[in-house]
Amino acid sequence: MKTFRYFVVTTFVLLFAVFSVSAQTNPLAKPAPATVAFINVPKFGDSKAGIKRYVAAADALDREFEVRDRELKAIADKAAALENELKGGATMKPDVYQAKRDEYERLKREFTFKQEEGKALYQKRQNELLGPVTEHILKELDAFAKANGIKVVLDVSKLAELIVVYSADADITNAFIADYNAKNPVTTTPATTTPVKRP
């Protein structure tokens, strides 16, 4: 599940970048003194210290795909067992070996098909469940920045190698998460459709 959660966070970072650019003021207007702050976007998805509404939506997404996870693992285990048997195929009768070989190839095809199908379905459900939450968080971040006189917000997780020195006071991650969670408490698990299978 961590691979998909990472994908979700990566998508969030890309949307964050787009939003930041689109929120710029008129380039012909008189420039104002810039106040820069940093935020650690991946921390939004932290199960303990992140944005609860985002974490709840991501967890709901994961739960929808638990069945497919188990099915894919079962297929992979069967294929691995057959592969080990085929390695000792010299002692098998030709018809037995061929039957096992055919089954092994069938399992490989089934695994690939279900994995690709699941990835497409996961991405679709990710957009449906996390898209609205992400959009709302970005709007709240914009409001938070304006309320605190911040003109530019940079994702520190993407700039770590470029920053030599910066004050801890410039990191608004915890402050924003606390503010968002206080204004948007999670009281119920985000609504989901009939559980689907996960890649």
All structural domains of the chain, each given as residue ranges with its CATH number in brackets, are 2-24+32-183 (3.30.910.20)
Helix axes 52-64, 94-147, angle to 10 degrees: 160
**Reported confidence tier of residue 12, pLDDT bands at 50, 70, 90:** low
Among 51-60, 88-97, 138-147, 157-166, where is mean pLDDT lowest? 157-166
On whether the CB atoms of residues 41 and 6 are closer than 8 A, the answer is no
Task: Give pLDDT, residue 150.
Answer: 92
The string of pLDDT tens digits covering residues 147-192 is 999 999 999 888 877 776 777 788 899 999 999 999 999 875 444 4
52 or 18, which is more confident? 52
Burial class (CB in 10 A: 0-12, 13-18, 19+), 129: buried
- % of the chain residues with pLDDT over 70: 75
Measure CA 77 to chain center. Answer: 26
pLDDT: which is higher, 33 or 43: 43
* Least confident residue range of 56-60, 74-78, 88-92, 122-126: 88-92
Q: What's the DSSP call for residue 92? A: S
Is pTM beyond 0.85? Reply is no
